[in-house]
Structure 1
Amino acid sequence: MKLLAATALLAALVPAAPSLPAAPAAPSGPPTASPVRASADDCTHPEARLRTNGHGRERNDLTPAQAAGIEEQLNRLLNRLGLGPVDESGGQSKGSDLKAAPQITIPVFFHVIHDGPRGNVSTAAINRQISTMNASYGGRNGGADTRVSFKLQGVSRSNSAAWFQDPERYEGTYKPMLHQGGKGTLNLYSTYIGGDLLGWSTFPWKYKSDPKMDGVTIHYGSMPGGSIEHFNKGFSATHEVGHWLGLYHTFQDGCGGQGDRVADTPAERDPSNGCPTGKDTCPSPGVDPVHNYMDYSYDTCMTSFTAGQGARMHKVWAAYRA
């Protein structure tokens, strides 16, 4: 998840790629299928981004015990693949592991869920969002080139007031209808999200049990040039796709445990709000990684992934999405 706060910023303008033809729109009005809610665990969206700090669901991350169980499963899969564990340095991914990693190019199907003109984002805006993700993951805003890139494959448009107004409620209806591709294909949904949420994602280890629910959902106002003050450079998608690739929040486990399982992101007790200077909430070395895409800072504050995060993405990809 990620949180919103308050200062206006101009979106980073990226030249739009040529327009793609849209898929046929879904019928207007309520969907014909009955809404299907996700499980109680999924509805808390531990893998999401919020827009405010202090109250709500921003602390709904995995517990240290849950994360430890996932890491055990991940390491078993990596050992079977002959790739060695992700935790070679005391539970942490190392940036040096990224040097030999091959380039990963991820096909993207972008699903626009709208209510008439509301939320019906243009193909140019979609291309700016993909370009923003490529810049983020390619290290062009700062930090490491993670050797992960994205290529838009197609756009669908679904005109449904019900889906648009309550995407969490109808997620179990529209995702199975719209989802395209397999485990290595990113399905990215834009819609209206009420409350504090800017977006949410599924983790890669959930794909096998529920493949049609796999994907990332973002508030359309968080896209580059969008309407959400402080959060309209398109980095909510960057953040959520980080979860889709297996990254935790930088404040996972707080100051204890194994944190986010990445060696070059200092431990962080609490998510950041705004763009604090010199924030240092844990006694271990290093100040809080407030500029990291996996924190909750303003979009204007976010600049980078680390090499260790890139290395973790590649190992998780090999285990769950290759």
Structure 2
Amino acid sequence: MKLLAAAALIAALVPALPSGPPPAAASPATARADDCAHAEARLRPGAHGREHNDLTPAEAATVEQRLNRILDDLGLSPADGTDSRPAAGELRTAQQISIPVYFHVLHNGARGNVSTAAVKRQISTLNASYGGLNGGADTRISFELRDVSRTDNAAWFSDPERYERTYKPRLRKGGKGTLNLYSTYIGGDLLGWSTFPWKYKSEPKMDGVTIHYGSMPGGYIENFNKGFSATHEVGHWLGLYHTFQDGCGGEGDRVSDTPAERDPTNGCPTGKDTCPSPGDDPVHNYMDYSYDTCMTSFTAGQGVRMHKVWQAYRR
């Protein structure tokens, strides 16, 4: 279960989406579930959750063992970058994956009721990110908006974690290969969260990605308003870990072409190298915690891993 950071919201934000003071926390209609379905998140720099909101090394090791057993049964190589074929070549020959998207706007009257145009900009940002148009690898993964739903519910909007087990089962559409993306207001330092693909079988109705509406392209959260929080969370939905998973030890993020990184990146440093192993920290990678203005790319190895996880869990 992810722990929320205790730091306060960044002050003096200038809204570009529907404005007004943050809503007060809603009174619970149901108790918050102890076994939170979401496991990965994006926090603003300086916030600290449990192991930076990553799986522990032991938890990740268990996930990888199960994943690689499935891939072996499918006749595919492991997802940890140990394949002898160069990742770039393998990615170029991978079959294109087109993912249908149902976008659910949770709002409280005008607050958070983002326009359909804003939703389409977010989908375009996903396609640019995963298509390599901002830099890095073309992952051969694309997204197609199928529908936009709108739910005017002050409680769900004000405390989406508390009510996650209420709104998701009612709103979610499609199967294991369908992305359900929820925009809402999220308090504290949290910018969004996602479920992992290997959780779908046990809790299919909880599957999906939740983002702070202020993090969408043109949103009001300073330094985090280019839409890359969705890019980051969808990366988790497709099976990627944070670049700083396991820190300088263990097996890292299980992708061979992302150098090990001890700590998440704060801001957009010109250089950062926190581990003795070769390579500078991947501060421009979408799976770090850098500012949106700093993020540009996935690696070919991350693209290959997403395709293999897709074959294992979402095909």
Question: Which of residues 113, 124, 127 is equivalent to 1:131?
Answer: 124
Q: Gaps spanning 5+ residues in structure 2: where?
A: 17-25
The alignment's TM-score, normalised by the length of structure 1, stands at 0.87
The corresponding residue for 2:33 is: 38
**Which amino acid counterpart does residue 32 of structure 2 have in structure 1?**
R
Q: CA deviation at 1:53?
A: 1.4
Deviation at 1:89, TM superposition (A): 1.5
1:126-161, Cα deviation, whole Å (9 max, x unpaired): 000000000000000000000000000001100000
Kept in 2: contact 1:265–1:306 (CA 8 A): yes
Q: Which amino acid aligns with 1:170?
A: Y
Matching of residue 288 in structure 1 with residue 281 in structure 2? yes
1:233 maps to which of 226, 236, 252: 226
Corresponding position of 2:165: 172
CA displacement, residues 168-212 of structure 1 (integer Å, 9 cap, x when unaligned) = 000000000000000000000000000000000000000000000
Q: How many Å separate the matches in 2 of 1:290 and 1:88?
A: 20
Whether the aligned pair in 2 keeps the contact of 1:92 and 1:262 (CA below 8 Å) is no
Is 1:55 equivalent to 2:82 in the alignment?
A: no
The whole-number CA distance in structure 2 between the counterparts of 1:95 and 1:63 is: 29
State the shift of 1:86 in Å. 1.9
Cα deviation, 1:193-241, whole Å, max 9, x if unaligned, reads 0000000000000000000000000000000000000000000000000
Residue in structure 2 matching 1:183, options 169, 176, 188: 176
Q: Does 1:305 align with 2:298?
A: yes
SS in structure 1 of the partner of residue 126 of structure 2: helix
Match of 1:59, SS state, is helix
Following superposition, the deviation at residue 5 of structure 1 comes to: 7.5
Which residue of structure 1 aligns with residue 108 of structure 2? Answer: 115
Q: Write out aligned runs for 1:251-262 (5 A).
A: 251-262=244-255
Contact kept in structure 2, 1:108 and 1:154, CA below 8 Å:
yes
Q: Tell me which moved more, 83-92 or 217-226.
A: 83-92
* Mapping 1:1-322, distance limit 5 Å: 34-35=29-30, 37-42=32-37, 45-57=38-50, 59-87=52-80, 89=82, 94-322=87-315
Note closer, same or farther for the CA distance 1:100–1:113 as it changes in structure 2 (3 Å cut).
Answer: same
> How far is 1:95 from its partner?
3.9
- Structure 2 CA distance for aligned equivalents of residues 41 and 104 of structure 1: 29
TM superposition score normalised by structure 2: 0.89
Distance in structure 2 (CA, Å) of the matches to 1:106 and 1:202: 16
Comparing 284-293 and 81-90, the one that deviates more: 81-90
The one-letter code matched in structure 1 to 2:229 is S
The structural deviation recorded for 1:87 is: 3.2
Q: Distance in 2 between matches of 1:8 and 1:147?
A: 36
**1:60 Cα offset (Å):** 2.4
Instruction: Give the total of aligned pairs.
Output: 301
The higher relative CO (CA closer than 8 Å, separation ≥ 6) is in: 1
Distance 2:289 2:85 in 1: 21
Where 2:142 maps in the other structure, the secondary structure is: strand
Aligned residue for 2:169, secondary structure, equals helix
Amino acid corresponding to residue 117 of structure 1 in structure 2: A
Q: Which amino acid aligns with 2:33?
A: A
1:19 alignment counterpart: none
RMSD (Å), alpha carbons: 2.8
Task: Write the letter of the residue equivalent to 1:50.
Answer: L
Give how far 1:56 is off.
3.9
Unpaired runs of 5+ in structure 1? 12-29
**Secondary structure at the residue paired with 1:169?**
coil
Letter in 1 for 2:194: S
Aligned to 1:26: none
Measured in 2, the distance between the counterparts of 1:136 and 1:53 equals 25
Mean Cα deviation higher: 85-94 or 178-187: 85-94
